Amino acid sequence: EAGVAQSPRYKIIEKRQSVAFWCNPISGHATLYWYQQILGQGPKLLIQFQNNGVVDDSQLPKDRFSAERLKGVDSTLKIQPAKLEDSAVYLCASSFRTSGGISTDTQYFGPGTRLTVL
Amino acid sequence: DQQVKQNSPSLSVQEGRISILNCDYTNSMFDYFLWYKKYPAEGPTFLISISSIKDKNEDGRFTVFLNKSAKHLSLHIVPSQPGDSAVYFCAACYNQGGKLIFGQGTELSVKP
Q: Coil, strand or helix: which one is A85?
A: helix
Top pLDDT among B97 and B66 is at B66
CB contact under 8 A, B97 and A105: yes
For A44, phi and psi rounded to 5 degrees? -120, 130
Nearest to A75, CA basis, from A113, A40, A101:
A113
Is 70 exceeded by the pLDDT of residue A98? Answer: no
Q: Residues A44-74: pLDDT tens digits?
A: 999 999 888 898 899 999 999 999 998 889 9
Mean residue pLDDT of chain B comes to 94
Cβ partners under 8 Å of residue A91, min gap 6: A6, A34, A35, A36, A37, A43, A109, A110, A112, B43, B44
Q: Residues B30-42: pLDDT tens digits?
A: 989 999 999 998 9
Q: What is the pLDDT of residue A1?
A: 64
Select the residue from B90, B100, B101, B107 to test the A interface by mutation, using most A Cβ atoms within 10 A: B100
Band of residue A83 on the pLDDT scale cut at 50, 70, 90: very high
CB contact under 8 A, A109 and B45: yes
Q: What is the pLDDT of residue A99?
A: 52
Q: How far is CA A101 from CA A30, A60, A96, B41, B92, in A?
A: 12, 26, 10, 33, 19
pLDDT over 70 for what percent of chain A? 92
Nearest to A50, CA basis, from A72, A74, A77:
A72
Select the residue from A90, A97, A109, A114 to test the B interface by mutation, using most B Cβ atoms within 10 A: A109
CB contact under 8 A, B49 and A42: no
Residue B41 distance to chain A (closest CA, Å)? 7
| Mean pLDDT, residues B49-54 | 92
| Mean pLDDT, residues A77-88 | 97
Q: What is the pLDDT of residue B96?
A: 63
| Mean pLDDT, residues A96-118 | 78
CB contact under 8 A, A43 and B89: yes
pLDDT over 90 for what percent of chain B? 88
Q: What is the pLDDT of residue A102?
A: 43
Select the residue from A39, A106, A108, A114 to test the B interface by mutation, using most B Cβ atoms within 10 A: A106
Interface size, chain A vs chain B, as Cβ–Cβ contacts under 8 Å: 53
Q: What is the pLDDT of residue A72?
A: 83
For A68, phi and psi rounded to 5 degrees? -145, 155
Nearest to B98, CA basis, from A16, A56, A3:
A56
Is 50 exceeded by the pLDDT of residue B80? Answer: yes
A105 touching B (Cβ < 8 Å)? yes
Find the residue in B nearest to A43 (Cα): B102
Q: Which of A102, A105, A109 is closest, CB to CB, to B44?
A: A109
Is 50 exceeded by the pLDDT of residue B23? Answer: yes
Band of residue A100 on the pLDDT scale cut at 50, 70, 90: low
